[in-house]
Amino acid sequence: DKGGWSSFMAKEISEEPEAVAKTILGRTHDGLVQLNELDPIGDEALRDIDRIVIIACGTAAYAGMLGKYAIEQWSRIPVDVELSHEFRYRDPILSDRTLVISISQSGETMDTLMAVKYVHDKSKAHLLSVCNTQGATIPRESHAVVYTHAGPEVAVASTKAFVAQVTALYLIGLHLAKVRGTLDDAAIRAAVDELQAVPDKLAEVIDVAQGQVGQLAHWMTDTQSVLFLGRHVGYPIAMEGALKLKELAYIHAEGFAAGELKHGPIALIEPGQVVFVIVPSPRDPSSLHPKVVSNIQEIRARGARVIAIAEKGDAAVLPFADEVIPIPLAGSLFEPLLAVVPLHIFGMELADAKGLDVDQPRNLAKSVTVE
Ligand code: M6R
């Protein structure tokens, strides 16, 4: 039931705040993270882990990339993110000190399921599943499962499941940080507070972005190609924005790490090329903000039409962007959860403006059950 919305995708985007809130619910205690679901693996084993491998496909893999940034920063455990269908075909190095985290909304994606079975049969690695579907096959083949509570996702394009997956991975990262003593309680509480503030901020972004992004999409029905740039946690968001345009609006789209621009992709910039740029916060202690602003100047000088997704009040981007989509203030690791929403809306609105089937794009299935 679309509940009065024009599509399941529109409904599911509106449920992104709730998906995050419900995924956190019952998993904190006294301001800290309490993930009893990890008990089957056990804190002792988690203290011994020397490497994490995240396996997933599509949007779930981009959630995994965000998980890598957070888990490495908080728990200091090295994390690799691999596409499930690449992972098991190269004799991966696994031991009883490896934690393999699979991410799947459906829990039935064959590529990921086969990779999980491979780990199960060929190694002593610990298998943790992040899944949105109770009792699905992938969690049943794993040692432990942290369910995302996004509710059923019907539209082929994954939206609310993505933000819920990132939330679950962040909770896992904070649990690991506690168990391994890499963050003190005050730092964990601060991160939990940030995460708990995300749903309200998401609601604000949806509110602000809807009209603005809808209008942009209506101007762009003839656009042939769109590029997306981001850095650090903005990079997976750039890839996610591009994937949504491909699958929903059938437009050639590519996401790049902004630092890679000068190593090739800048040659693609010609007058009129539309480029979305995910801008890091100017408050970020790294020097990424000025670097991305200077990327914007470089592409603008070559005639690109720049649409910046930037923190509210970021005056530095205003003179150089054709359009700025504002997002609320948040810590660097939490910004991508907000920046992704305008891109979800954009993909949907552009597909809609082109008269395409938003919920059921051509050639795609909600859950890919063949290898
Ligand atoms: O059910 P899963 O999370 O395992 O699905 C993974 C991908 O097939 C899925 O995210 C796909 O990329 C979406 N259609 C993207 O919007």
Ligand 1 contacts CB of residue 158 (under 6 A): yes
Q: Tens digit of pLDDT for each residue in 224-233?
A: 999 999 999 9
Q: What is the residue whose two structure tokens read 């930037």?
A: 310
pLDDT averaged over the chain? 96
Q: Tens digit of pLDDT for each residue in 5-46?
A: 999 999 999 999 999 999 999 999 999 999 999 999 999 999
**Quick check: 369 pLDDT over 90?**
no
Phi, psi (deg, nearest 5) at residue 307: -110, 110
Instruction: Report, as an integer, the average pLDDT of 271-298.
Output: 95
End-to-end CA distance of the chain: 30
Q: What is the ipTM of this complex?
A: 0.98
Instruction: Report, as an integer, the average pLDDT of 71-80.
Output: 98
Instruction: Provide the residue type at 43 as one letter.
Output: D
Helical ranges in 15-90 per DSSP H = 16-24, 43-48, 58-75, 84-87
d(CA 131, ligand 1 centre) in Å: 12
**Quick check: 367 pLDDT over 90?**
no
What residues are paired with 52 via a beta bridge? Answer: 79, 99
Annotation marks residue 178 as catalytic: no
Predicted local distance difference test score (pLDDT) of residue 370: 85
Decide: helix, strand or coil at residue 100.
strand
Torsion angle of C-alpha atoms 99, 105, 110, 114, degrees rounded to 10: 10
Helical ranges in the chain per DSSP H = 8-14, 16-24, 43-48, 58-75, 84-87, 110-122, 137-140, 160-180, 185-219, 234-249, 288-301, 335-353
**Minimal CA–CA distance to 240: which of 133, 339, 102, 150?**
339
Ligand 1 contacts CB of residue 57 (under 6 A): yes
For the beta carbon of residue 56, count every other beta carbon within 10 angstroms: 28
Q: What is the reported pTM?
A: 0.97
Instruction: Give the C-alpha distances (Å, rounded to integers) separating 35 from 55, 179, 231, 286.
Output: 21, 11, 30, 31
Q: Tens digit of pLDDT for each residue in 201-217?
A: 999 999 999 999 999 99
Ligand 1 contacts CB of residue 41 (under 6 A): no
